[in-house]
Structure 1
Amino acid sequence: MKKFNIALLCTLFLLASCTPSVQDDEDKVVQKEEEPTGQPSIVPTYKLSEDDYRVVLPYRTSKARGATTNQIANRLDIDEVEQGLMRHSKEYFDPNEVYFEEGQYLDLDTVYSWINELNPKVEEGSEKEVYEDNPRYLSHILEQNFIKRNEDSVELVGLSIGLALKSQYRFQTEIGGTYYYKNIPKADMLEKGREVAQTVLERVRQMEGLQNIPIMIAIYREEERGSAVPGNFVAKTFIEQGEMSIDDWEGIEEDYILFPSNEAEEKYFDDAQIVNTFGVEVAEFFPNYVGFIGEGFYVNEQLQKLTIEVPIEFNGKAEIVGFAQYTYGLVKDKFPNNYDIEIQITSSEKLEAYIYREAGKENPVVHLFD
């Protein structure tokens, strides 16, 4: 399923319905004493909503920029590991008190070398069984920083680290040879993830400026390479400043479900029936309709957000307007309002219309694209 930039969609929603939150503090140029580069930063006044982090300007990209796309095979996993880590960080680093910055401590060479060192070693040319018994569990190490502004400076006050591990290991026994696949049980992945987390913590604590910084570490389980939905975070832990060991882990019950699918029918039958009814109603209205793709995000088995993409070929603007109006009515009449719902109406060329309703609201917001 196509993944549209969530920041863009949130912006459209805000333009259609409200203005951004305004902070009382004016923008201020400050010296970042804890920054590796020591460059001045401007802390912005505005953010899109109370739930979002403000970012430090001028924006600095991660010191390990490019590693995520190189290390994680599924595009949906790439998006979710970054956005999900930020989402879980909010439990420990309040968006109303701190600012977000991409990782500035683990550079590209460090990330790649740690991944290689923390994965099992297999001699090139080994038998297939050797690869199967020693899968490369760890795909990526993602760092995010959280900054607090003081009276005349800013400082690092928190660090989040996401560890992306595989659910399926793909390997070759020789260069250019056949690809083999080995599924990795969740329990095995979690065991390895906890081991990796302890080692990463010890190494991070040895880095200058990070000895006494609170750290959140979360374990992400990737989906298979061709999956139509992303994987999810499965465990997290918080390490207080100065601590060198991980005492316990908190399980995370999150799930991304594809609609329509057998898994949706088996796990969330009622939701699957509502979504299927939506498809039937659309098919009755529009002769060019060929199907939809839906994605549900669940936390503790409760639907939090439903996203549906409806690809249709239109013959004019009037058709788009009419279909958007009809879909607006379906959202109001067919779907409960206890979760966010997002409908993306697309053609082969672009996103034609976007309908969004926030949980608890009665009326959706509609945006038509020129």
Structure 2
Amino acid sequence: MSRLKKRKLGAAALIVLSLQLALAGCSQGSSQNSVVKKNGGTQTTQLIPGANSKDYQSLRPVSNDQMRGYINYGVNNRVDVDQLELGLMNMSKSVFSPDQYVFQSGQYLTENDINGMLYRQGQEKNKTSGSLPGLNPPLGTGKTAVQRAQSSPKYLNYVLEQDYLKKSSNGKYVLAGVSIAVSLNSVYSDQIMDQNQNINSIQEQLNSATVKAWGRSVAPKILQRVRSVKGLSKVPVFLTLYMTAAPDSLIPGDYFAKTTVSAGSATIDKWTTVNDQHVLFPSTAASSQYKADLAKFNTFKSDVQKYYPDFVGVVGKGFYENQTLTDLTIDINLRFMDETEIIGFTNYVASIVNNGFGFGREVPIHISITSNDVQEALVDRTSSMDTAYVHIFQH
């Protein structure tokens, strides 16, 4: 997968920020364009330029879009929300090239469409009206509601849509492709009301292989639901499978499969494996799979902690494509007493990055320095930089 070539984690936050800034000041560099909507009418909106030629131009979000933010009701972890959205956009570049397509947030799947897939079989609303059955497994066996839910976990937590448009011969932008991410649980987390009207929390670790196999088996049904939506019956569909992390995880989950369905087809021919992995430093996964990189991180951590040995917390978040580290975000937390301490410490960190840093220049590094959950400074280094970029935030 290629995740904005996968400028991850810290980089992902910068991407979101740059998009927000672009939208906030959209009169500069943007243009008015007509977009054909799913009901056949047209709408005038602004086309926002991409940050560079490798990024999508985007159509400004619709102010009354009912699906804005709805993903948060299905996906429990903010890092998963970010990764699900940005990861899908980045992978879509291999199918819908940024030099031919523009991006728009999903406009076709409604709240009812998505909920209709997320319901358990047998629990969908308005069953008598002929609505389609839910796709999550039906309740299992047990004497109580909690036991019935635990014995048959939900696997599907969200279905994300992204739209990719082209300018037609009459100058209007029309839908030319859609990307779909099927988001699956690695942990079944739920709130169940019992017969006494008490809310019971469920959190069950799921078997990864079982969930992935279920995701592949249910994907054709999701594709059929997508095809049944007016406006989506003919366009190419880029379909992906994503496994979320635990609700309290510091790093997101990962995409693990993808396929492209040609225009008008409702059949999945084959899946392509996506070999992406987010790894926390330090962690068991880092110790067992990436010992050399963990050693480099520990050396950096040790050098940083020499500044204030007892008060510096250092956590790393690496992103691997095909077992190669392609992005590293490092969070450093320290309680500062004054501005001069922040400046001195940030320059000290930057000097480590510039001199003898263990990770090669081919790995983008993003270091966030915080104090009491407030970002104080940023140290950033990419392959094109001779020295690290440093920014001290003023509050």
Q: TM-score scaled by structure 1?
A: 0.88
**Aligned-residue offset at 1:53:** 1.4
What is residue 150 of structure 1 aligned with on the other side? 168
Answer whether contact 1:85 1:160 (CA < 8 A) is retained. Answer: yes
Quick one: distance in 1 between partners of 2:282 and 2:186? 22
| Counterpart among 280, 290, 296 of residue 274 in structure 1 | 296
Higher mean alpha-carbon deviation, 167-176 vs 310-319, is at 167-176
1:236-315 → structure 2 map (5 Å cutoff) = 236-286=258-308, 289-315=311-337
Q: Which moved more, 1:117-126 or 1:68-77?
A: 117-126
> Which of the residues 103, 106, 109 maps onto 1:103?
106
Aligned partners of 1:213 and 1:178: how far apart in 2?
Answer: 43
Alignment of 1:122-161 (within 5 A): 122=139, 126=143, 130-151=148-169, 152-161=171-180
Paired residues of 1:309 and 1:345 also in contact (CA < 8 A): yes
Between stretches 203-212 and 293-302, larger displacement belongs to 203-212
In structure 2, do the counterparts of structure 1 residues 130 and 313 end up closer, same or farther at CA, with 3 Å as the change threshold? closer
Report deviation, 1:107.
1.1
Which amino acid is the alignment partner of residue 80 of structure 1? Answer: Q
Note if 1:89 corresponds to 2:97. no
Cα distance, 1:150 vs structure 2: 2.9
- Secondary structure, aligned partner of 2:313: coil
CA distance in 2, matches of 1:68, 1:57: 19
Q: What is the CA distance between 1:94 and its match in structure 2?
A: 0.9
Matched residue type, 2:345 = F
Distance 1:169 1:287 in 2: 39
* Among 18, 38, 43, the residue aligned to 2:47: 43
1:359 aligned partner: 383
Q: Displacement of 1:316 after TM fit? A: 2.2
**What is the DSSP-based 3-state SS (H/G/I as helix, E as strand, rest coil) of the residue aligned with 1:47?**
coil
CA distance in 2, matches of 1:287, 1:269: 24
Distance 1:179 1:59, change over 3 A: closer
When residues 158 and 29 of structure 1 are mapped into structure 2, their CA distance, relative to the original with a 3 A threshold, is: same
Answer whether contact 1:34 1:154 (CA < 8 A) is retained. Answer: no
Inter-partner Cα distance in structure 2 for 1:88 and 1:314? 40
Q: Secondary structure at the match of 2:42?
A: coil
Match in the other structure for 1:70: 73
Kindly state the Cα deviation for residue 72 of structure 1 after the two structures are TM-superposed. Answer: 1.2
User: What secondary structure sits across from 1:142 in the alignment?
Assistant: strand
Taking the aligned partners of 1:162 and 1:64, their CA distance within structure 2 comes to 15
Query: Which residue is 2:124 aligned to?
Result: none
Cα shift at 1:173: 7.8
The code of the aligned residue for 1:191 comes to A
User: What is the Cα deviation at residue 58 of structure 1?
Assistant: 5.8
| Aligned mates of 1:304, 1:61 — CA distance in 2 | 38
Provide the residue aligned with 1:19 in structure 2.
none
Q: Deviations over 1:141-177 (max 9, x none)?
A: 1100011123421111110111110112235583536
* 1:115 and 2:118 aligned: yes
| Number of the residue aligned with 1:339 | 363
* Structure 2 equivalent of residue 7 of structure 1: 15
Matches within 5 A, 1:49-68: 49-57=52-60, 59=62, 63-68=66-71
| Residue in 2 that maps onto 1:329 | 351
Q: Where do 5+ consecutive residues of structure 2 fail to align? A: 1-8, 23-28, 120-133
**What is the rounded CA distance, in whole Å, between the counterparts of 1:251 and 1:281 in structure 2?**
38
> By how many angstroms is 1:27 displaced?
5.3
In structure 2, give the amino acid aligned to 1:55: S
Q: Percent identity?
A: 30
CA, structure 1 residues 184+61, in 2 after alignment: closer, same or farther (shift >3 Å)?
farther
TM-score normalised to the size of structure 2? Answer: 0.83
Contact between 1:61 and 1:102, CA under 8 Å: does it hold in 2?
no
1:314 positional shift: 1.8
Cα displacement (A) at 1:124: 9.4
Structure 1: gaps (5+ residues): 15-25
Contact kept in structure 2, 1:124 and 1:173, CA below 8 Å = no
Question: What is the RMSD computed on CA atoms of the aligned residues?
Answer: 2.6
Query: Matches of 2:260 and 2:182 in 1, distance apart?
Result: 14
Structure 1 residue 8: Cα displacement: 5.7
